[in-house]
Structure 1
Amino acid sequence: MQITMSPYYGKPDFSGLVRKRGAYGEVDPVSVADLLRNAFVYPPHSTLQGVKLVTFGFCPQHDMHTAPQFHFKFRNAGEVPEVAREDQDWVGVYHRLLCDAVTSSCAQARAPWLLQSGGKDSTTLAIAIAQARPDTTCITYLGGREENEVESAAFVARRLGLRHEVLVCDPGRAYDRYLAVVDRMPLLTADFALLSYMDLATEIATHGGDGIIDGLGADSYFGTPVSRQQRLLARLAQQLRLPGRASELPLIDRSFELCFMLGTLQMHPIERVFPGSRFTDSEVDGLFGCDMASRSRARLALFREEIASATSTWEWRDMSMSIAGSAGAFAKGLYAADALSLHAAYPFCDRALREWVHYEVPGYQKVDPDTGVNKMLIRRHIATRFGELPYVRRKGSFRFDLCGLAAARFDLVRDHAQQASYLLPGATRWLDRNRRRLDNKYHASKFYLLAVVLPWLVRHDRGSESSAS
């Protein structure tokens, strides 16, 4: 089976997997290694051996089983074109196209809800939604102590006349909601926002919502600046092979910064671009009890030639992030929405909008040539209604209480590890050895990956379990 799975290409169809459950082979162990190493499965692969995915950058007409070819669709994002072919009311045209994108992407939803972080993308979306779908409810997730965007998000919704709700992260509740539908998730990603998304999606469904509006998709064609920290991390990624327990050494194991640096030293520079702290190659081999990490890393070869052709560090990073975006960030929403029978809407993926921004909007409207600040057109659109919001200046991120999850559901995850020992015999040992370290976000991030992956394996790979026994 081959599934076209990208909001840039339209709505994916997972119905064949549901109708013929178990007909497409067993769980792919290399894909499980992908999840543990990078939190997503390298496209065009999936967690099932017989299912391949056409994500953005691949051609739906190509056979993903035999001849996948990756080509980044938004070359020189943030720069093309240098000069506009004709002058336009850039903000006015952008607003019209975004309203049209909201209307078309939400056409099937009777009661849509906007995932409103309070940042640039969700704020500009809220402005368009207030005109195109004023029946939309906004919901903001308070994920942890690091940031609190609720005040900004509530102000935006209130000013626009939209209903606003808040959901405070309870890691135990979020995990229980994930377990309640994990057997209905067609495939799997371990994106670090998956449990938050599942928490939100369940909340929306409980309150009568039937659609989720997500602000993903604009980064790829607006262009994303590379920070000094990101450049430094890319240089630190040296693909070193260190002992699997290096981050468990005394003193080091208590420091997130030291653990993160040791993990970075063992990564490929492209894989360091992917977000979050993950298992190293040595640790992955320890979880499997055999050499599996090298087979996962080999999948990166499909993307290397295209990424090596990047003409700037910005484009290099945009290309690298597009891999994780398609198979991780988008996948979490698509899988969660499918499991809960909700419509997933991604207005920024609308073809007319994205093509106009990439090919017609001049570079200075996307990235300020003097300051390097990106999404200038979006900022100007927001300024027509709000001026400069505080949260637009200080970008946050989507948080989840990783340490709280480990404290609340350790025994449950350990039980799943024992049930999945036919594939990951080292998982229970890792959990027992690191239980006292899970108040460090570095180790808690790895716990999160196991917490997501293990139940899916237990529910979806019964065939392998039976044959192993």
Structure 2
Amino acid sequence: MNMSPREWPYVASSLFKQTHIRASPYAGDVDFSVLDTADAAASASIDMVSLADLLRNSFVYPPHTIYRDVKIMTTGFATQQDREDELRFHFVYQSVLAAARPLSHTVSDETLLRTYHQLLSQAVQRSTASLKAPWFLQSGGKDSTSVAIAVADVRPDTTCLTYLGGREENEVASARFVARQLGLRHEALVCDPGRAYDRYLAMVPRMPLLTADFALLSYADLATEIGRQQGDGIIDGMGVDLFFGVPMHLRDHLIIGLARQAPIPGAWLTYPFIRQNFKLCFALASLQMNRFERHIPGSRFSDHEVNGLFGWNASTHSRKRMDVFQDDVRAARSAEGVRRIVLVMLEAGGFAKSMYSAKAMGLRMAYPYCDKPLCEWIFNEVPDDRLIGPGGLNKVLQRRYIAQRFQRLPYVQNKGSFRFNVPGLARQRFEQVHAFALQARAVLPGAATWLEEHRHCLGNKFFASKFYLLAVTLPWLLSRMRHAVSAGGDDAMSPVIS
């Protein structure tokens, strides 16, 4: 399947007072330099609905950004014919839209695995061609292990770096074993929430846009460390899920089935026997969501809480931004199809955490799985049963690729280890974030009050995740508000917020 010419080449242009940035890594290198000038920063207006998006979902709904007049064209977005100031969404990588894939018996595993290795190696080579000292974020999962095998062949000068984000997942030993077996240097970085936050604060003035992805502070920590170690670029193994597919399991259906948009009194969550139980808090929060938004991972502020933070009904305007995706959602023929659309939507936050961190540190990003020939081959030429197997087994071909080099290992079963210690961040930085909230009362008048009322709950990662969202967004906003005042005088703050 061929994509429209508008889908792949990078272009950034100013259109009718709007700046459109091609921000999909599938389209090649992303360039945020249009936002670098002092004039652009001083004249940009903070979009308050986008801020509500961040607090409700941890990312801004594309094509919007934290700036009112800056739009990003992520996967699926293109300008309207005859209306280039408007963007439409349509996702062409639904499984049912694929060209007829080969039947299982018509192509051998040997041929598929050889082609997969060739294409992945070429993708690594192309994406790292400009890098002299690449570092690879080796999370320990299937995606990163596959990339590590290709990296060992074409970029053996790469250093692997594994992040230990918390007690829940520790795959450092497995990742180190893989790297050493492949002859690659391996390093590990253990999460210190305070250090990661300090590193994030240091890069905030240089971050082009804002996301609140729950791995953003991990990436800020990693990017800073790579810069300190004289690395000049980062290899990231994100991006292949859209093409292998994202099967839904029973647990996924149960969680999404909880979403009823039911009004749940916020006070319930702070009752002593509830506030200490993450799973119970998560279930009650899910009841308040709609089904589409419950696909989005993580614990976030409810609509009622967001309205309290702002002092007005910001959540309704944020929720309305889902409408741009609804034609594709209604056309999706399965729950897996809906999940692909959610993944495309999440691209705005998922890739942003690495793009923005790398930009702030002067590093280049390499995404081998976003290489067009590799993506097109997986989507069109790999039989269905090598994509998703019986029982919803995901990435069958990738599992067999790993098995050629390694036996059954824990990281093939479990997700990678990029989680962040959010309760630890709340313990170490509560007073600092509370001070930020007081300084930002003109924007979020209810933030300081929420922190004061929930301080006793922050040992539960459900509440600590909400603290994290404020910890990430507040200093970025304050940085831009101060810049506007210094650039335009005391009256400059009012037009910055809109």
Fold-level match, TM-score > 0.5?
yes
Hey, what does 1:41 align to over in structure 2?
Answer: 60
For residues 55-111 of structure 1, what are the alpha-carbon distances to aligned partners after superposition, in whole Å with 9 as ceiling and x for unaligned? 011126779974221112311179864535963610000000000000111111110
Give the aligned partner of residue 453 of structure 2: 433
Secondary structure, counterpart of 1:173 in structure 2: helix
> In structure 2, what is the equivalent of residue 354 of structure 1?
375
Q: State the partner residue of 1:5.
A: 23
- Over aligned residues, Cα RMSD in angstroms? 2.0
Per-residue deviation at 1:113? 0.5
Q: Tell me, yes or no, if the aligned pair for 1:112 and 1:137 is still in contact at 8 Å.
A: yes
Task: Indicate if the aligned counterparts of 1:46 and 1:53 stay in contact, CA closer than 8 A.
Answer: yes
CA distance in 1, matches of 2:133, 2:344: 30
Change (3 A) 1:24 1:9: farther
Instruction: Report the alpha carbon displacement of residue 281 of structure 1 after superposing the two structures with TM.
Output: 0.2
TM-score (norm 1): 0.96
Find 1:266's aligned residue among 288, 293, 298: 288
1:240 aligns with 2:235: no
Contact 1:2 1:53 in 2 (8 A): yes
Match of 1:178 in 2: 200
C-alpha displacement of 1:364: 1.1
Are the structure 2 counterparts of residues 408 and 241 from structure 1 closer, same or farther at C-alpha, using a change threshold of 3 Å?
same
Q: Decide whether the 8 Å contact of 2:101 with 2:380 is kept in 1.
A: no
Q: How many angstroms apart in 1 are the aligned matches of 2:298 and 2:125?
A: 34
The alpha carbon displacement at 1:47 in A equals 0.2
Structure 1 position 118, deviation (Å):
1.3
1:378 maps to a residue whose letter is Q
- The 5-angstrom pairing of residues 213-228 of structure 1 reads 213-228=235-250
What residue number does 1:291 align with? 313
Q: What is the identity, as a one-letter code, of the residue corresponding to 1:253? A: R
Name the counterpart of 1:98: 120
2:438 aligned partner, one-letter code: Q
Q: Do residues 460 (structure 1) and 489 (structure 2) align?
A: no
Name the aligned partner's letter for residue 319 of structure 2.
Answer: R
Kindly indicate whether the alpha-carbon contact (under 8 Å) linking 1:77 and 1:223 is maintained by their aligned counterparts in 2: no
Quote the residue 1:382 is aligned against.
402
Q: Does the CA-based 8 Å contact 2:171-2:417 persist in structure 1?
A: no
Question: CA separation in 2, counterparts of 1:92 and 1:272?
Answer: 38
C-alpha contact (below 8 Å) 2:140/2:417 kept by paired residues: no
For residue 330 of structure 2, what is the aligned residue in structure 1? 308
Partner of 1:71: 90
Identity %, equivalent residues: 52
Residues in 1 aligned to 2:182 and 2:358: alpha-carbon distance in whole angstroms: 26
Describe how 1:361-440 pairs up with structure 2 within 5 A.
361-368=382-389, 370-440=390-460
- Aligned counterpart in structure 1 of residue 163 of structure 2, from 129, 141, 153: 141
Partner of 1:330: 351
- Which residue does the alignment assign to 2:253? 231
Q: 1:65 to 1:298 in 2, by over 3 A?
A: farther
Q: Judge conservation of contact 1:78–1:223 (CA < 8 Å) in 2.
A: no
Q: Is 327-336 or 238-247 further displaced after alignment?
A: 238-247
Letter in 2 for 1:214: D
Contiguous gaps of at least 5 residues in structure 2 = 1-18
CA gap of 1:343–1:280, structure 2 versus 1, over 3 A, is same
Distance 1:62 1:56, change over 3 A: farther
* Cα offsets for 1:201-245 (capped at 9, x unmatched): 100010010111011001011011111111111111111233344
Aligned residues: 467
SS in 1 for 2:425: helix
Following superposition, the deviation at residue 393 of structure 1 comes to 2.2
1:330-367 Cα offsets, whole Å, 9 max, x none, are 11111111111101110000000000000111111111
Q: Give the structure 2 partner of residue 253 of structure 1.
A: 275
Task: Return the TM-score normalized by structure 2.
Answer: 0.90
Selected match of 1:87 from 107, 110, 131: 107
From 152, 164, 169, the equivalent of 2:186 is: 164
User: Structure 1 181/261 Cα, relative in aligned 2: closer, same or farther at 3 Å?
Assistant: same
Q: Which amino acid aligns with 1:154?
A: R
Query: Is it true that 1:448 corresponds to 2:455 in the alignment?
Result: no
Asked whether the equivalents of residues 76 and 311 of structure 1 are also in contact (C-alpha less than 8 Å), the reply is no
Task: Pick from 191, 208, 229 the counterpart of residue 207 of structure 1.
Answer: 229
Shift in alpha-carbon separation, 1:65–1:296, aligned structure 2, 3 A: farther
Letter in 2 for 1:107: A
Structure 1 24/65 Cα, relative in aligned 2: closer, same or farther at 3 Å? farther
SS in 2 for 1:53: strand
Moved more, 108-117 or 386-395: 386-395
AA aligned to 1:414 is: H
Given the alignment, which residue of 10, 32, 46 partners 1:27? 46
- Deviation, structure 1 residue 284: 0.1
User: How far apart in 2 are the matches of 1:445 and 1:316?
Assistant: 25
In structure 2, give the amino acid aligned to 1:31: S
- C-alpha separation in 2, matches of 1:418 and 1:10: 41
Task: Answer yes or no: is the 8 Å Cα contact 1:36–1:449 preserved in 2.
Answer: yes
Counterpart contact for 2:98–2:380, Cα < 8 Å: no
Letter of the 2:48 partner, please give it: P
**TM superposition shift of 1:253:** 1.7
**Who is 2:7 aligned against?**
none
Which residue pairs with 2:3 in the alignment? Answer: none
Q: 2:358 corresponds to which letter in structure 1?
A: A
Query: For the Cα contact (< 8 Å) 1:215–1:347, is it kept in 2?
Result: yes
The 3-state SS of whatever aligns with 2:399 is helix
Match of 1:339 in 2: 360
